Amino acid sequence: MIIGKGRFYLMDRILLTGGKLLDKSEGLLMAEKDILLSGGKIEKIAGQIRVEPDMKVMNLGGRIVSPGFIDIHTHVFPGSHLGVEPDSIGVPFGVTTICDAGTAGPENIEEFIENYIKPSKTRIFSEMHFSRKGLFIKPEADDPSKWDLDLAEEAYRKHKDYIVAIKARASNSTVGKLGIGPIKEAKKLAVRCGLPLYIHIGNPLPYIEEILAVMEKGDMITHSFHGKINGLLENGKIKPEVQAARDRGVFFDVGHGVASFNFNTARAAFSLGVIPDIVSTDLHIKNINGPVFSLPLTMDKMLALGISLEDCVEKVTAAPAAIFSMKGLGKLKEGYTADITVFHMEEGNYEYHDADGNDLIGHTSIHPDCAIVGGVVEMLKF
């Protein structure tokens, strides 16, 4: 049976044929191989798989096949001042997994799970905020009464299948006069839960040097390439504290956002060897209609800045899955979960905008054609 345009199936066995497999972590660099999906898993990858009567065949017509795209920085808990509907930014754009970056805290994480994570077509994890109500209060960490580490640890233990990191925002607008104090508290929680600490950086206080001093191997900074003070660079050089953090295994994420990605900062940092470990959007209600729009468009900006397609795809698949211990995700590998993104590239002259009004011209663009989540075809355009 051939799957046609506009038809969606919950099926046992799907044969993807005629595609070019792209997964640098598995050594697949446009490999012309078939993939058989069965029972929500990748059953087999081979040069040519014989069609059997119970298979549903998708002829990909030379399109690129990658592990399902993962966007680790979004805000998808509607009702908060930033939240958008999860499926408005996920599977329609070829993104099979998204992480909500701290919109929910320990007091409302259960509501988020039941009302949004479980019903969504897009797979969702939480980077739970250490503050009681996450981003449902503003500012969320300027007073010790706004967090309770015992309560937060209890929430994690109860919902650990959905929580991949602990989130905190380290900027003057969120911590007020407490400076680095709340970030140290968030780190205590991350250690207690055995999770990475995921930190938003912005205007001081605290300073990035203080923030990085708290962070250990496996922790991650987001908004790494903003154009504000308190960044990675000083006098055109990488700050020693930034290099030391990279050397000990701290990760650096794009987290584009409405005010947190600058082409000039990125270009300078990239030229000095500080390349993002992860590409993410920080999509929310204030930037979904620009300048961010989607994960594929954010990836296009990375391509225009000189990151190769295979590296860019790895930064939204294998890398985030490994860093946040998303078991069975992020690879085109037999036995892994059947989360797949199919896309094609188009050439042209594309004008991109960062968060500070700077422009950039790119010449290649990623266009998602299909999203498969756990073996279910959730989006199909061909």
The CA-based diameter of the chain, rounded to the nearest angstrom, is 67
Give the Cα separation of 91 and 103 in Å (integer). 20
List pLDDT tens digits, range 318-343: 999 999 999 999 999 999 999 999 99
367 annotated as ligand-binding = no
Measured distance CA(122)–CA(138) in Å, rounded:
28
| 89 has a pLDDT exceeding 70 | yes
Contact assessment for residue 130 and residue 168, using Cβ atoms and an 8 Å cutoff: yes
Superfamily of domain 67-324: Metal-dependent hydrolases (3.20.20.140)
* Contact of 100 with 124, CB cutoff 8 Å: yes
Q: What's the pLDDT at 12? A: 75
Query: Tokens for 81?
Result: 């001042």
Half-sphere exposure (Cβ direction) of 125: Cα atoms closer than 13 Å: 24
Instruction: Confirm or deny that 160 is annotated as ligand binding.
Output: no
- pLDDT for residue 9 is more than 90: no
Reported as a single tens digit per residue, the pLDDT across 208-249 is 999 999 999 999 999 999 999 999 999 999 999 999 999 999
Query: What DSSP string runs through 324-371?
Result: TT-TT-SS--TTSB--EEEEEEEEEEEEEE-TTS-EEEEEEEEEEEEE
**pLDDT band at residue 64 using 50, 70 and 90 as cut-offs:** very high
Residue 65 pLDDT level (bands cut at 50, 70, 90): very high
Position 255 scores a pLDDT of: 98
pLDDT confidence of 11, banded at 50, 70, 90?
A: low
Domain with CATH 3.20.20.140 in the chain: 67-324
Element (H, E) at 20: strand 20-23
d(CA 253, CA 264): 16
SS3 242: helix
75 annotated as a binding-site residue: yes
Burial class, 4, CB count within 10 angstroms (exposed 0-12 / middle 13-18 / buried 19+): exposed
Is the overall model pTM greater than 0.85, yes or no? Answer: yes
Tokens linked to 283 = 């999509």
Whether residue 4 has pLDDT greater than 50 = no
Query: Annotation-wise, does 81 bind a ligand?
Result: no
C-alpha distance from residue 232 to each of 170, 176, 240, 281 (Å): 15, 22, 9, 19
Is 167 marked within a binding site? yes
Give the fold, CATH level 3, of 14-66+335-379. Urease, subunit C; domain 1 (2.30.40)
Residue 176 CA to residue 172 CA, distance in Å, equals 5
Question: How does the average pLDDT of the chain come out, rounded?
Answer: 96
Cβ burial, residue 354 (10 Å; 0-12/13-18/19+): buried
Mean pLDDT of 121-128: 98
Say whether pLDDT at 179 is over 70. Answer: yes
Work out whether strand 220-222 and strand 20-23 pair parallel, antiparallel, or are unpaired: unpaired
Judge whether 73 is annotated as a binding position: yes
At 278, the pLDDT band (50, 70, 90 cuts) reads very high
Q: What residue ranges in 47-173 does DSSP mark as E strands? A: 56-59, 64-67, 69-74, 95-101, 123-129, 163-170
Instruction: Give the other-Cβ count within 10 Å of 106's Cβ.
Output: 27
Q: Is the pLDDT of residue 6 over 60?
A: no
Question: Between vectors from CA 350 to CA 252 and to CA 332, what angle results, nearest 5°?
Answer: 50
CATH 2.30.40.10 range(s) for the chain read: 14-66+335-379
